[in-house]
Amino acid sequence: MKIAVVILNWNGVKLLEQFLPSVIQFSPEATIYVADNASTDESVAFVKKNFPSVMIVQNKTNQGFAGGYNDALHSIDADIYALVNSDIEVTNNWLKPILETFEFETETAIIQPKILDFKKKNYFEYAGAAGGFIDQFGYPFCRGRIFDTLEKDNGQYNDKVDIFWASGACFFIRSTVYKELKGFDEDFFAHQEEIDLCWRAINKGYKIKYISDSIVYHVGGATLQQANPQKTYLNFRNSLLMLTKNLPQNTLFQALIIRMLLDGIAGIKFVFEGQFTHFWAVIRAHFSFYSLFLKNYKKREKNQVKIYFKTRSVVFEYYVKNGTVFVDVI
C-alpha cells in the first residue's frame, strides 16, 4: 500500500529541524511531504536545502488545519494518508502495525497510534492519548486523558481496540474514505475537525481503531497553547457545530440546550477565576455558532447512526464524582 506521511507546517522551521529527522529515519515505507500553509518564515527553503528527499506542497493561503490538509491532499497520490503534526517524534516501526491493520481489516478506515508526552515520555499526551470518545453533550475525552488529567503509561492501554475518534496530531486514514467524506469541514478551521470527520465515518459504517504497537511522542500546543483564548473559542464553537451535524434528530436539540447551559457555567467559572478573555471567547463561540447553525444543519446526513456513548456526561463524572481516569468515567 502506498502511504504518504503529510506534515502540515505553518511557520514551524524550528519544529521541522527538530522532528523531521525522526520521521525520515523511521518511515522507509512512506513518501514524506511537508504541506506548507503559506508560511512567512524560512520553512520551505530549510526543507529544500536540508531534506531534499522530502516533497513539498505549498498552499497559497493559511486555512488552518482543516483547509490546509484539504488543499494539500488534492495533489498527493497515496492509498493511506498519515497526517502528522510538526511536533511529533515517531519511533522505529511505527508504520508497520498501521499498514498491516489497513491491509487485513478492510472495514477499518481510520487509525490512531499510542500518543505519549514528548516532555514526559512515560505519560500519555493530551491530544489523543490512547484513543478518543465523546459524551452525549460533545465533550471529548480519551483513554489516558480526562480533561486536564493525564495518566501514566503503565501498559493499561497496550491493546488494539475500536475508538470513537482518532487524534489529528497523528491521524491515519484511507484516501478513498477521506475523499468520500470530502475531507475535513473547513468551517471548523482548527480543533475537533478530526472528531467530526470520525463521526461522519462512523455514520457511514466505517471503524476507527487505536493501535498501541505504534508509538509516537507529541509536544502539544506548539501551534496554539492550551491557555490561548482562541483555542477556547474554537473548541466551544466547534463542539456545537459537531453536535448539530451528527447527533440523531431525536436527541439533537435537547443535547444542544444542555450543552449551551454547561458552556454558560464554564463561562461563569472563567469569570470567577479572573480569566475574562476566556469568558469572552465562550460568548464569541456561541454567537459564531448561531451564525453557522443553519449552514451546518443542512450538512446532516439523511440517516444519523445512533451512537453508544461511553458516558452520558463526562463533566458530571469528572467534576462531581471525581473520576480522573478512563475506567472511572465509563
Distance of alpha carbon 250 from the chain centroid: 27
| Strand residues in the chain grouped as ranges (E) | 3-9, 30-36, 55-58, 80-85, 88-90, 108-117, 132-134, 140-142, 145-146, 149-150, 160-162, 170-174, 207-218
Its pTM stands at: 0.94
Closest CA to 112 of 132, 92, 126: 132
Closest CA to 84 of 26, 135, 42, 157: 26
Distant-in-sequence, close-in-space partners of 186: CB < 8 Å, separation ≥ 6 = 63, 64, 66, 67, 70
**pLDDT (0 to 100) of residue 222:** 46
**pLDDT (0 to 100) of residue 130:** 98
- Reported as a single tens digit per residue, the pLDDT across 49-58 is 999 999 999 9
- Reported as a single tens digit per residue, the pLDDT across 275-299 is 999 999 999 999 999 999 999 999 9
**pLDDT (0 to 100) of residue 220:** 83
What's the rounded mean pLDDT across residues 312-319? 93
Closest CA to 181 of 239, 233, 251, 246: 246
Beta carbons of 241 and 234 less than 8 angstroms apart? no
What's the rounded mean pLDDT across residues 116-126? 96
- Reported as a single tens digit per residue, the pLDDT across 17-26 is 999 999 999 9
Q: Which residue has the cell 472511572?
A: 328
**pLDDT (0 to 100) of residue 97:** 98
**pLDDT (0 to 100) of residue 172:** 98
Listed by start position, the domains of the chain span: 3-218, 229-309
Written out in words, the top-level CATH class of the domain with range 3-218 is: alpha beta
